[in-house]
Structure 1
């Protein structure tokens, strides 16, 4: 029915084009007395054949021949066709209509095919990029699921080859019948099956690849398909999935899946080991640190300069080890995405003062100056995380600048941000180091051998600041020119900012 309406609409448009041509011809015959020009009626035939199809083109051909006989063949102003050349005109117009419409259809099909191939290539390129960027098996399965959904143009739920891990919401929402069919396909009891989900929809359940079980099992919603049409729809979907499986095999997705699973398991094992060892070390370390602190303040030890120095060394090294362990624990939290800011209103000065107070002994060999604006607005952040991040920056300034050199700590308002910064006169940063600063385990080659460190400090600081909606930046004029590291924190936050009274 839709096709009939389309042909009728096209025929009306073709007749309209013939009518416009007739008006032009009438003007020519009346003003210029033109009596040879029937070929002008080929124009609407060509346009109709190219844009509207065969039927409208034939309508335009018949109408064009009738009007050309009316104007250009005697007896003039009559629709009577009797001469051979008039019949020949009709045949010629019809041939032109058929050839033009055929060429137009061929061109349209070629254009649609080219567009389809271009879209498929674009989707395949995007899919391959997602595979390259995937860091886990879950990411790869998600990419496969979305790629297959775009191919079959239906709702798709993909189950990985392994049954471990948490079920996704769309998987949990499937009916018990579907889960039973999926379990049968995963166990290899059947390669493919169709099942009614109990709500009137038919689902096709099968392996993505019949050759490789690593690609998982796919459930495709075929919708409310009549029983006699299920096989036809299933065949179309099977053809698409066969091509998709061949593509996955060419891209060597199975190896990528295995590599991702191995990386994920290795990462989990490493983080569990770090967390376990770190916690086990902190208990005896706390005792060592407490004992060293008591010894360093003992009157008996204070009388012996050598023992005082040794007690100080033990305390300093215990504090350094404690900081390293804390960095490892923080790194584990960040890797597991377990950083959950507990935000509250706080003054920026309190964060700066807390960070400097905790590192008073470490900064004792430097000239520390403060540059803090008065009446800074409150900021809505997690004070513990931001103080740890700022403390890491202060530690680095003390570590990488010579004793006796100045360190400037500032807290300023800059537009819509509060900027906490630390400027030193130490080793500075080269352009390459500045580009990599804040990356996990990165340490500049110039001082990696001479200065101890794990390369985690600024990475942790950057993660903590980002969790609070801020950003960390480093600037340096070059090697040996010192460094300025800044934390930018927004202060335009919820409307319930506390009001500071005059006495505060």
Structure 2
């Protein structure tokens, strides 16, 4: 929890900060009372109460407002060091200060609370829009493979003796592809639930990044029929201590996004590099790239670019970024000047050169 959030939620801390601030400002003003005059002190204290009202809850602010009025009376209004007021003008001025300070504290906190309610309502409306979009996408993403599986199985059951061997192979292939698609979406849902639960515990071990990338490319062979994936292994690349399952999921989601949203015959290039502190992976393509004003949103949960083809739930890149952050790493996106987009993954990790690495 951040310090700002802790202060906003802890009312006792607000009392302490508010009272301490008023006492400190009053002391400073007291040192210069002969220069600034007690009317200016009233404005300074009133400004302090107004600023606190912008951030604190109502009771700490009201308490500070009342305290500031009493301190102003005791230390600055003649006769000083007493609560008595000798002139009608000062009495009226004190009464006006007291009323204005308290009303300002109450009204400012009320307005802030109303703005907070309005902001939450708008956020809720946006969340509902995203949720409905997600449900529509998820409905399509789940129903389509399920319908394919059920339809293929029904065809096999009803026409088993009439189908040729090739027909059966085609149907089994459709079932396999649909099963993988279904498994991918269920996996995304489980991964998102894991991230939202904030219960991601890394299982670190030494891994060869080249092998992981090759396995991801092989896993996507069927979906990459109309694309060209280019990767040249760096034999000098050291071993890295990472969570291989999460690392594979990051690369899988980025690569799947490129395969799904770039035109046929696009070239997807995977490059590896490293420094003494981190492993670096670049995944770029020569497609159309991303709209510049949408780049910051592509990692948002459920977000999908406007006018994109049907398919996907808008979770893949959000999960990839979440798993990168779980490694204390970063995942960034930029458009290439030559066309297309480039994802850059940086994962802080221990490294060891294979020839100096002894397996137990």
Larger Rg: 1
CA distance in structure 2 between the partners assigned to 1:376 and 1:341 by the alignment: 22
Change (3 A) 1:301 1:364: farther
Higher relative contact order (CA 8 A, sep 6+): 2
Equivalent positions of 1:435-450 (< 5 A) are 435-446=296-307, 448=308, 450=309
CA distance in structure 1 between the partners assigned to 2:162 and 2:241 by the alignment: 46
Whether contact under 8 Å (1:369, 1:409) holds in the other structure is yes
> Which residue pairs with 1:460 in the alignment?
319
Whether contact under 8 Å (1:427, 1:481) holds in the other structure is yes
Is residue 501 of structure 1 aligned with residue 359 of structure 2?
no
> Which residue pairs with 1:469 in the alignment?
328
Alignment deviations for residues 182-211 of structure 1 (CA, whole Å, 9 cap, x no partner): xxxxxxxxxxxxxxxxxxxxxxxxxxxxxx
Root-mean-square deviation over aligned CA pairs: 4.7
> Which residue pairs with 2:219 in the alignment?
358
> Which residue pairs with 1:200 in the alignment?
none
Change (3 A) 1:498 1:116: farther
Change (3 A) 1:123 1:316: same
Equivalent positions of 1:303-314 (< 5 A) are 304-314=165-175
Equivalent positions of 1:138-177 (< 5 A) are 144=57
> Which residue pairs with 1:486 in the alignment?
344
Change (3 A) 1:391 1:117: same
> Which residue pairs with 1:168 in the alignment?
none
2:193 to 327, 332, 335: 332
Q: Secondary structure at the match of 1:453?
A: coil
Where has structure 1 moved over 6 Å in runs of 4 or more? 240-243
Q: Which ranges of structure 2 fall in alignment gaps of 5 or more residues?
A: 1-28, 65-100
Alignment deviations for residues 305-361 of structure 1 (CA, whole Å, 9 cap, x no partner): 344333322322222122112212222222332333333333322432332233232
> Which residue pairs with 1:316 in the alignment?
177
CA distance in structure 1 between the partners assigned to 2:217 and 2:325 by the alignment: 22
Change (3 A) 1:119 1:498: farther
CA distance in structure 2 between the partners assigned to 1:241 and 1:349 by the alignment: 67
> Which residue pairs with 1:112 in the alignment?
41
CA distance in structure 2 between the partners assigned to 1:429 and 1:401 by the alignment: 11
Shift of 1:301: 11
Q: Secondary structure at the match of 1:372?
A: coil
> Which residue pairs with 1:256 in the alignment?
117
Whether contact under 8 Å (2:332, 2:345) holds in the other structure is yes
Shift of 1:150: 7.4
Is residue 420 of structure 1 aligned with residue 281 of structure 2?
yes
Shift of 1:116: 2.5
Whether contact under 8 Å (1:379, 1:490) holds in the other structure is no
Equivalent positions of 1:176-195 (< 5 A) are none
Q: Secondary structure at the match of 2:356?
A: coil
Q: Secondary structure at the match of 1:251?
A: helix
**Number of residue pairs aligned between Structure 1 and Structure 2:** 282
Change (3 A) 1:124 1:430: same
CA distance in structure 2 between the partners assigned to 1:52 and 1:394 by the alignment: 67
